[in-house]
Chains A and B, each alone.
Chain A
Amino acid sequence: MILTGQEIIKQVHLGRIKINPFNMDQINPNSYNFRLGNKIKYYVNSVLDTKVKQKVEEVEIDSHGYTLYPGKIYLGHTLENMGSDHYVPIVKGRSSTARLGLFIHVTADIIDVGSYNQWTLQLYAVQPIKIYSEMLIGQVTFWTIYGDIKLYNGKYQGSQGPCESLIYKDFIEDLK
Chain B
Amino acid sequence: MILSGQEIIKEVKNKNIIIEPFEQKNINPNSYNYKLGNQYKIVSIDETLDYKNRSIDENNPLSYISEKGLLIEPGKIYLATTYEIIGSHKFVTLLIGRSSVGRLGLFLEISADLGNLGTAHKWTLEITSVQPVIIYPYMKIGQVSFWIPEGDIINYQGNYTNFNIPQNCFFESLF
Q: Which residues between 149 and 170 of chain A lie within 8 Å of chain B, taking CB atoms?
A: 149-152, 154, 156, 163-167, 170
Interface status of B71 (Cβ within 8 A of chain A): yes
Interface status of B63 (Cβ within 8 A of chain A): no
On chain B, the residues within 8 Å of A43 by CB distance are 104, 131
Please, how many angstroms separate the alpha-carbon atoms of A1 and B107 in the complex? 26
A73 touches B131 (CB 8 A): yes
Interface status of A63 (Cβ within 8 A of chain B): no
A107 touches B108 (CB 8 A): yes
**Stretch among B4-12, B48-56, B158-166 lining the A interface:** B4-12
Interface status of A49 (Cβ within 8 A of chain B): yes
Interface status of B96 (Cβ within 8 A of chain A): yes
**Most interface-central of A49, A54, A114, A120 (chain B CB within 10 A):** A49
B107 touches A107 (CB 8 A): yes
**Most interface-central of A109, A147, A152 (chain B CB within 10 A):** A147
Q: What 0/1 pattern do residues 128 to 146 of B give for CB contact below 8 A with A?
A: 0011111110011011010
Q: What 0/1 pattern do residues 1 to 39 of B give for CB contact below 8 A with A?
A: 111111110100000000000000000111100000000
On chain B, the residues within 8 Å of A50 by CB distance are 101, 104, 133-136, 139
Choose among A48, A150, A156 the residue that contacts B105 (Cβ–Cβ < 8 A): A48
Interface status of B98 (Cβ within 8 A of chain A): yes
Choose among B4, B134, B142 the residue that contacts A148 (Cβ–Cβ < 8 A): B4
Q: Is the interface of A mostly helix, strand, loop or mixed?
A: loop
Choose among A113, A144, A156 the residue that contacts B99 (Cβ–Cβ < 8 A): A156
Please, how many angstroms separate the alpha-carbon atoms of A170 and B136 in the complex? 12
On chain A, the residues within 8 Å of B99 by CB distance are 108, 120, 122, 156
On chain A, the residues within 8 Å of B10 by CB distance are 147
On chain B, the residues within 8 Å of A47 by CB distance are 71, 131-134
A71 touches B139 (CB 8 A): no
Q: Contacts A146-B148, A150-B29 hold; do A108 and B98 have CB atoms under 8 A apart?
A: yes
Min distance, Cβ B75 to any Cβ of chain A, angstroms: 9
On chain B, the residues within 8 Å of A49 by CB distance are 69, 133-134
Least CB separation from B95: chain A residue = A107
B103 touches A165 (CB 8 A): yes
B1 touches A146 (CB 8 A): yes
On chain B, the residues within 8 Å of A147 by CB distance are 3-8, 10
A122 touches B103 (CB 8 A): yes
A selection of 21 A-B contacts at a CB cut-off of 8 Å is A1-B1, A43-B104, A48-B132, A73-B130, A106-B97, A106-B101, A106-B106, A108-B99, A110-B143, A113-B29, A120-B99, A143-B1, A145-B3, A149-B4, A150-B4, A152-B28, A154-B28, A165-B100, A165-B104, A166-B100, A171-B139
Q: Known contacts A48-B131, A154-B28; can you find 8 more A-B pairs with CB under 8 A?
A: A47-B131, A47-B132, A107-B107, A108-B99, A147-B3, A147-B4, A149-B6, A156-B99
Query: A-B pairs with the 4 shortest C-beta distances?
Result: A147-B7, A73-B105, A107-B97, A147-B4
Interface residues of A (CB under 8 A from B): 1, 43, 46-51, 54, 71-73, 75, 88, 105-110, 112-114, 120, 122, 124, 143-152, 154, 156, 163-167, 170-171
